[in-house]
Amino acid sequence: MLLETAILAGLLFGFGIYQVLQRSFVRILIGFVLLSNGANLVILAMSGDPKGKDSPILAEGTGPHVDPLPQALILTAIVIGFGLLSYMVVLLYRIFLDYRTTNAADLFEEPLKEAKPEEPH
């Protein structure tokens, strides 16, 4: 069980990093989704083998429970990942509106300019 989880988490991290390093904005976004899911999976693996255990819901006549803490952590991590990702979508959309490109390499292609003179407010 845990070996499969470990392999899957490794694959998610690997594909995630690969996609993040691509040029297209959409691929970068997908890469971050994969990375965040990989990290969540690593947390889930820490609650151990769930074989023969009940879900951590309090009720009469339930046996040993699965460790509930990783699940609480994942819930929080998912929320944070959701916030991060939605910010990233909006930022990339804004960059798209400004630069009219979805290619991350285009953004930084030009030689670094001198600092712009600051406009007086």
Partner 1 sequence: MNLVAMPILLPLLTAIAALLLRADTLRRGIVIASCAFQVIVALALVILTARQGPIALSIGDWAPPFGIVLVADLLSSIMVALAGIISLASIVYGYLELPCRLEHPLRIPLTQFLMVGLCQSFLTGDLFNLFVAFEVMLICSYALLTLEADDWDIKQAFPYLAINAVGSMIFLAAVAFAYGIFGTLNFAEISQRAAGMSDDPRVLILAVLLLGVFGIKAGLFPLYFWLPNSYPILSTPLAALFGGMLTKVGVYVLLRVFGTVLPQDLSGLHTVLAWLGGVTMLLGVIGAVSRNFVRGILSFHILSQIGYMVLAIGFFSPYAIAAAIFYNIHNNLVKSSLFLVGGTISLLNGTDDLKRSANLWRATPLLGVAFLLLGLSLAGLPPLSGFWGKLMIVQDGLRQGEYVLIFVALFTSIFTLLSMMKIWNASFWTQDASVPVRIHDRRWIGLTAVTCTMALLTVAVTIFAGPLIELSHQASEEIFKRETYIRAVLQLKADRGGVVDQAVSVPFEAVSDPIDGTSNPWLPEVAR
Partner 2 sequence: MNLARSFIFTRVAIFLFFVINLFSIYLLLRGHNHPGGGFIGGLGSGMSLVLLSLAVGVEQMQKVLRVDPVRLATLGLLVATLSSALPMLWGDPFLTQYNIKIGGVGLGTPLIFDIGVYLVVIGITVRLIVILARPVEGLCSLTPIERTRYASEIEKPIDQPIEQKIETNWGGQG
Contacts of 63 by beta carbon, 8 Å cutoff, 6+ apart: 52, 53, 54
Contact with partner 1 (CB under 8 A) among 15, 22, 30, 39: 39
Q: How far is the CB of 60 from partner 1 (least distance, A)?
A: 19
Determine the Cα–Cα distance for residues 39 and 71; give it in Å rounded to an integer.
13
DSSP helix/strand/coil, 94 = helix
Check residue 29 for interaction with partner 1 (CB under 8 A).
no
Closest CA to 56 of 33, 37, 75: 75
DSSP helix/strand/coil, 70 = helix
Q: Where in 71-110 is the site for partner 2 (CB under 8 A)?
A: 75, 79, 83, 86, 89-90, 93-94, 97-98, 100-103, 105-106
DSSP 68: S
Contact with partner 1 (CB under 8 A) among 94, 102, 105, 111: 94
Closest CA to 104 of 20, 18, 12: 20
Contact with partner 2 (CB under 8 A) among 3, 4, 58, 64: 58
For partner 1, the binding residues (CB under 8 A) are 2, 13, 16-17, 20, 28, 32, 35-36, 38-40, 42-43, 45-49, 53, 64-70, 73, 76-77, 80, 83-84, 87-88, 91-92, 94-95, 98-99, 104, 107-108, 113-118, 120-121
